[in-house]
Amino acid sequence: MKKKYYIETFGCQMNVHDSEKMAGIMKADGMSETLNPEDADILIFNTCSIREKAEQKFFSSLGRLRHLKKSNPALKIAVTGCIAQQEGAKILKRTPYVDYVIGPQNIHVLKDLDSIQIHSVACNDNPLIAATDYPVDRKDGIKAWVTIMYGCDNYCSYCVVPYTRGREISRPREKIIEEVEKLAQDGFKEITFLGQNVNSYKSDLDFPGLLNKANGIPGIERIRFVTSHPKDLSKELICSIRDLEKVCEHIHLPLQSGSSRILRLMNRKYSYEEYLDKILGLRDAVPGISITTDIIAGFPGESAEDHEATVNAIKEISFDGMFAFKYSHRPGTYASGFEDHLGDKIKSDRLYEIIDIQNQITENRNRSLYGSTQQILIESFVEAREGRQYQGRTRTNKIVNCTQSTPPAVAFIIGDLADVNITNTARHSLAGIIK
Ligand code: SF4
């Protein structure tokens, strides 16, 4: 009988995609997936350590499923991802029922777990990672993540990623292009290039060069990328977004703070003025581009004036969307050694103020799309009494719920592109009728 794996994933898209790779590795080794941990021969916790909360969530999930080892002593438990890399053998001490600790650069060991000693740690640097083609078990049939680089060299003072995912290393472009061509043959319509800092991609091509190559692949309709660092947003990249028809008009560009003083303490390597200049350049070249961002509320030493600068920046730039979080103390990072950490109440108050302001801005920006025509890529549909209801995303990455005009000229299916007349708008989505 085939052995079964169960994967629980925490954190960012990078981890979600790593879980697809782990599933691919184990499937290629003859295992099958189960969604029920009680049926599994191995439980994998793919962890995130970007914030304290994500770490707590993992340890509570691990504790919740620990009893399964009592009823099935042959069950194996593996901890992978950023906490595995950061904590290493300490995890085996703290939770001795864990069998394997595997860092993000060592997921290949899942291929042959039976040959590895239990209670072992695989967290070494793996220089071959960028040249390795991992099998990937993708759940979605039309949208695919494609890793173009691993690690990060930026050392933002609050961030654990350079310590958990290692130094920046780009995949050879021919491997990336081969993967995208194969995805196109398999019917995928949209790809998202993935990396901690995609716009510093470097092989024999730079990032705009890679986008240009991917743009020429027949069958792929849309190209996205995440995440970009503002300091590496070049004029050439702005031109690529403007000129390459498959590159979507959306960029996620983490600002983190509107105060240049705090940006310096964060080691972000740009000032607010430089960031704003790039936003103006983007909007000038690509009118209607959607810009989303990340903000950290309550960084150590953030004064009322610094917070005010962030509020003003959010109003001035008018982002389409934002992920905002309270500053989270991460052991081992440079900022964890700062002395002037703020209390939880002030961090929460600032966070809620920022979120309230952005919610209103998002709603207004979506409202401005009322009456416009937006192209969507259909991702799902349900049959309802009133007819088929579709859901998709605009090129600017906004969710649209829509119906077909009656009687429908063509029945659309998942993966089709459709033009939608926007007849209603809300904070989190748009609604309309397919033309
Ligand atoms: S760019 Fe900064 S925040 Fe992003 S992964 Fe690298 S160190 Fe972390």
Nearest CA to ligand 1 atom 8: 159
DSSP state of 1: -
Per-residue model confidence as pLDDT tens for the chain (435 residues): 789 999 999 999 999 999 999 999 999 999 999 999 999 999 999 999 888 888 899 999 999 999 999 889 999 999 999 999 999 999 999 999 999 999 999 999 998 888 888 888 888 888 888 888 999 999 899 999 999 999 999 999 999 999 988 899 999 999 999 999 999 999 999 999 999 999 999 999 999 999 999 999 999 999 999 999 999 999 999 999 999 999 999 999 999 999 999 999 999 999 999 999 999 999 999 999 999 999 999 999 999 999 999 999 999 999 999 999 999 999 889 999 999 999 999 999 999 999 999 999 999 999 999 999 999 999 999 988 778 899 999 999 999 999 987 766 678 899 999 999 999 999 999 999 998
CATH topology of domain 373-434: OB fold (Dihydrolipoamide Acetyltransferase, E2P) (2.40.50)
Ligand 1 in reach of 159 Cβ (< 6 A): yes
Q: Span 4-122: which CATH code?
A: 3.40.50.12160
Residue 31 Cα to ligand 1 midpoint, Å, equals 35
Check whether domain 277-368 has CATH 3.50.50.60, yes or no:
no
Residue 152 Cα to ligand 1 midpoint, Å, equals 6
34 burial level (CB within 10 Å; 0-12, 13-18, 19+):
middle
Ligand 1 in reach of 322 Cβ (< 6 A): no
SS3 11: coil
Q: How far is CA 130 from the centre of its chain?
A: 19
Who contacts 208 (Cβ-Cβ below 8 Å, separation ≥6)? 234, 236, 237, 239, 240
Same topology, domains 140-248 and 277-368? Answer is yes
Find the largest Cα–Cα distance for the chain.
67
The predicted pLDDT at position 407 comes to 64
Ligand 1 in reach of 154 Cβ (< 6 A): yes
Residue 166 Cα to ligand 1 midpoint, Å, equals 11
Q: Say if CB 25 and CB 136 are below 8 A apart.
A: no
Alpha-carbon gap, residue 223 to 193, rounded angstroms: 8
Ligand 1 in reach of 370 Cβ (< 6 A): no
The predicted pLDDT at position 112 comes to 83
What are the boundaries of each domain within the chain? Answer: 4-122, 140-248, 277-368, 373-434
Alpha-carbon gap, residue 343 to 346, rounded angstroms: 6
Q: For residue 267, which atom of ligand 1 is closest to its CA?
A: 2
Check whether domain 140-248 has CATH 3.30.750.210, yes or no:
yes
Ligand 1 in reach of 197 Cβ (< 6 A): yes
Residue 149 Cα to ligand 1 midpoint, Å, equals 13
Ligand 1 in reach of 196 Cβ (< 6 A): yes
Residue 386 Cα to ligand 1 midpoint, Å, equals 47
SS3 49: coil
As separate numbers, helices (DSSP H) first and strands (DSSP E) second, the chain gives 13, 19
Indicate the top mutation candidate among 13, 159, 169 to test ligand 1's pocket, ranked by most ligand atoms within 8 A of CB: 159
Ligand 1 in reach of 293 Cβ (< 6 A): no
Alpha-carbon gap, residue 94 to 92, rounded angstroms: 6
The predicted pLDDT at position 323 comes to 97
Indicate the top mutation candidate among 149, 154, 168 to test ligand 1's pocket, ranked by most ligand atoms within 8 A of CB: 154
Q: For residue 155, which atom of ligand 1 is closest to its CA?
A: 7
Ligand 1 in reach of 387 Cβ (< 6 A): no
Residue 154 Cα to ligand 1 midpoint, Å, equals 6
Q: For residue 229, which atom of ligand 1 is closest to its CA?
A: 1
Who contacts 345 (Cβ-Cβ below 8 Å, separation ≥6)? none
Ligand 1 in reach of 155 Cβ (< 6 A): yes
Alpha-carbon gap, residue 212 to 225, rounded angstroms: 13
Residue 318 Cα to ligand 1 midpoint, Å, equals 23
Ligand 1 in reach of 86 Cβ (< 6 A): no
Residue 195 Cα to ligand 1 midpoint, Å, equals 10
Query: Between helices 207-215 and 235-243, what is the axis angle to 10°?
Result: 10
The predicted pLDDT at position 116 comes to 81
Ligand 1 in reach of 152 Cβ (< 6 A): yes
DSSP 193-237: EE-TTGGG-BSSSBHHHHHHHHHT-TT--EEEEE---GGG--HHH
| Count of CB atoms situated within 10 Å of the CB of 150 | 21
